[in-house]
Amino acid sequence: MADATLSVQVRDEFGKGASRRTRRAHLVPAVLYGHGMDPLHLTLPGHEAMLALRTDNALLELNVAGETTPRLALVKQIQRDPIRGDLIHVDLLAVRANEKVVVEVAVLVTGESAPATTVVLDRNTISLEAPVTHIPEDIEISVEGLEAGAQVAAKDLALPEGVAFVGDLEEILVTVSHEEVEAAEETAEAAEETPAAE
């Protein structure tokens, strides 16, 4: 059910100094919130957390020290060191196994459109409502053989059972254009922006 199981500790030291000490001990500061609970400050095991958080919308089973029942949590936000990429802090949303959540899921374009066309993807991610235990890793949109002028709207998506698009179903996600027309338009725009020689 969960993507990974982590044994975590409750954190009782706060502030930058405490966070630095935590990271030096190869642990990651985190906070768990949601369902009206008071935020629970935790430390995650560094290496295991790095492995578990390689996928978006990871669902974690947390074995909290001192508690007998594991908690389910969805990764909501990750802060990383901009240079080394190390985990700095993780925000976790408490969830239940039988609930649905709204998440951002990556869009992947597959296939080849017709010759002399180009494919424009308007959004790299889309919002979906999905069962917390069955969140798609990504959504594929096939452009195989599509001719110039073709469009793929949200209503055209092939979504897994129980998963729904959040937003306007008429929203255009992918457009197929003619390469030559697009190139001519870009040339015309560039000519308009270039000041005429006096």
How far is residue 103's CA from residue 12's CA, in Å, rounded to a whole number?
30
| Contact (CB, 8 A) for 96 and 72 | yes
Topology, domain 4-96: Ribosomal Protein L25; Chain P (2.40.240)
Residue 196's pLDDT band (boundaries 50, 70, 90)?
low
| Contact (CB, 8 A) for 173 and 136 | no
Question: According to CATH, where is 2.170.120.20 located in the chain?
Answer: 101-192
pLDDT in tens, 45-81: 988 998 888 888 999 999 999 899 999 999 999 988 8
Q: Say whether pTM exceeds 0.85.
A: no
pLDDT in tens, 108-117: 999 999 999 9
**Residue carrying structure tokens 């000490």:** 21
pLDDT in tens, 135-146: 999 999 999 999
- The first and second tokens of residue 7, run together, are 């044994």
Q: Select from 154, 187, 189 the least CA-distant residue to 168.
A: 154
- Cα→Cα distances 188→81, 116, 182, Å: 43, 19, 10
Question: According to CATH, where is 2.40.240.10 located in the chain?
Answer: 4-96
- The first and second tokens of residue 128, run together, are 């979906």
**Could you name the CATH architecture of 101-192?**
Beta Complex (2.170)
